[in-house]
Amino acid sequence: MGARGAATRDKLVESSLAMFREDGFEATTMRRIADAAGVSLGNAYYYFASKDDLVHELYLVVQREHRALAIPRLRQGAPLAENLALVLHTGLDVMTPYHRFGGAFVQVALPASSRASPFSLESAQARGLAIDLMRQAADASRPRPASALRERMPMLLWLAYLGITLHWVVDSSPDQARTRRLVDGVAPIVGRAVRLSRLPVARGLVDDVVGLLAPASASTPTAAATPAGASR
Amino acid sequence: MGARGAATRDKLVESSLAMFREDGFEATTMRRIADAAGVSLGNAYYYFASKDDLVHELYLVVQREHRALAIPRLRQGAPLAENLALVLHTGLDVMTPYHRFGGAFVQVALPASSRASPFSLESAQARGLAIDLMRQAADASRPRPASALRERMPMLLWLAYLGITLHWVVDSSPDQARTRRLVDGVAPIVGRAVRLSRLPVARGLVDDVVGLLAPASASTPTAAATPAGASR
């Protein structure tokens, strides 16, 4: 893509994200996106086959912003509870402008066959960025989890993050305050569970959790965790 | 409601559930339900203000079938892993005929304001039945969890069940085999976690979990777990 093509593409992404934030997903059409970007509809379709393709751009933008906000603030040697709370709260910060859009988005992303699913092949780049952020948070934190669990930690933290995100999407409390409190409650629990995982008494539990995630590599979704992704 | 009214109501419920199973949620309209039941559209609306009201009937039917299937097969004194696997698998058995309908249903039930949400006021009766089934499974099982956790166990198991249900809804594997394997993996993990909860070393973790659920009674959704329900 030449410089002019890249600029056109950027304009389309920018105008679609602004429109998603302000008008929501349903009201945003390819025609309106093209108009706002000053691009013909045919030209817009040359860059993005559908609105769904722009959702992947949204993923990427959100992940990049999330990393830019969270990584510099991770504290080396801090308890996982602290670094995890930071990562989850900054994740919510980045998603907040899109909250209106969240409900419609989950409806688009939930079906097994959806390319917008966080488990889909098409979401691999954004998912990789998100899981790598979790890896950085886990690696920065002390104490470390049981060695058997270490490789799975980024995936486990990412699944926890997806759960928090789902809670946030349906959270009707002002400023999604309830999800903020959930983060403050969940982060210490994860921290304690990780400390507990180091004790011999937790060996069986650790083995079971690792076994559940066994088909996965640390950077791809697991069979157990990804009904949507694995069968295609 | 007289006997004739009750019979009409039953006919409407029956024909709507058959139609949900066979044609899915979208294709099922109040008019088609009324026609299949041999009831005028006006009369149908007298009993059910909308299709959503029939979703609550579906909840109730599913919960009653689930209890009828699971309760007699709970084994007193068995490990929680065994009784929980039984309850989760029988839950999937009962829902299986509605799998096609599942995706559309989650889209209806997910929004914070939806009366079809499992956390809504309107779902209280079905939710109560479901949580009570979890209570029976927990009470039948040995060893018991840490005493601090006992009151919260039915709620925790029910939340796990909702998670499994969400996985099942988006599970595109044949006969949702992947969700069956997830149940087989998760049940022993819950059982082990409960055994671990009894040890002094897990005291802090148990306190954190109980604290997270603190605003809840054992029979109503928690603030943390129910963004949808609690703010209305």
In a domain, B226, yes or no: no
Contacts A159 to B, Cβ<8 Å? none
Whole-angstrom distance, CA of residue A179 vs CA of residue A172: 10
Whether A219 shows a pLDDT value over 70: the answer reads no
Considering only alpha carbons, which residue of chain B is nearest residue A159? B163
Comparing CB atoms, the residue among A106, A223, A228 nearest residue B110 is A106
Total of domains in chain A: 2
Whether B106 shows a pLDDT value over 70: the answer reads yes
Highest mean pLDDT among A128-137, B22-31, B165-174: A128-137
Whether B222 shows a pLDDT value over 90: the answer reads no
pLDDT bracket for residue A122 (50, 70, 90): confident
Q: Are residue A122 and residue A47 in the same domain, yes or no?
A: no
Is some CB atom of chain B closer than 8 A to the CB atom of A200?
A: no
Least confident of A3-7, A26-30, B222-226: B222-226
Residue to mutate among A88, A178, A194, A232, with most B CBs inside 10 A, is: A178
> Which positions 68-127 of A are in contact with B (Cβ < 8 Å)?
103, 106-107, 110-113, 117
Per-residue model confidence as pLDDT tens digits over B49-104: 988 888 888 889 999 999 999 999 999 999 999 999 999 999 999 999 998 887 77
Alpha carbon A216 to its chain centroid, in Å, reads 18
Angle between helix B80-95 and B124-140 (nearest 10) = 150
- Closest chain B C-alpha to A183 CA, distance in angstroms: 9
In a domain, B227, yes or no: no
Is some CB atom of chain B closer than 8 A to the CB atom of A38?
A: no
* Contact status, residue B106 vs residue B166, Cβ threshold 8 Å: yes
Alpha carbon B137 to its chain centroid, in Å, reads 14
In a domain, A227, yes or no: no
Please count the residue pairs, one from chain A and one from chain B, whose beta carbons lie less than 8 angstroms apart: 113
> Longest C-alpha distance within chain A, in Å?
64
Contacts B230 to A, Cβ<8 Å? 173, 178
Are the Cβ atoms of A227 and B193 closer than 8 angstroms?
no
The mean predicted confidence, pLDDT, of chain A is 88
* Contact status, residue B105 vs residue A110, Cβ threshold 8 Å: no
Query: Which residue is it, tokens 């049981």?
Result: A146
Calculate mean pLDDT across residues B168-173: 90
Query: Which CATH number does the domain housing residue B40 bear?
Result: 1.10.10.60
Nearest to A223 by CA among B216, B36, B176: B176
- pLDDT score, position B174: 94
Q: By three-state DSSP, how is residue B217 classified?
A: coil
Q: Are residue B70 and residue B45 in the same domain, yes or no?
A: no
Whole-angstrom distance, CA of residue A217 vs CA of residue A193: 22
Per-residue model confidence as pLDDT tens digits over B116-159: 788 888 889 999 999 999 999 999 999 999 999 999 999 999 99
Per-residue model confidence as pLDDT tens digits over A76-118: 999 999 999 999 999 999 999 988 887 777 777 776 667 878 8
Q: Are residue A69 and residue A119 in the same domain, yes or no?
A: yes
Domain coverage including residue A14: 1-51
Q: What is the ipTM of this complex?
A: 0.80
Are the Cβ atoms of B112 and A103 closer than 8 angstroms?
yes
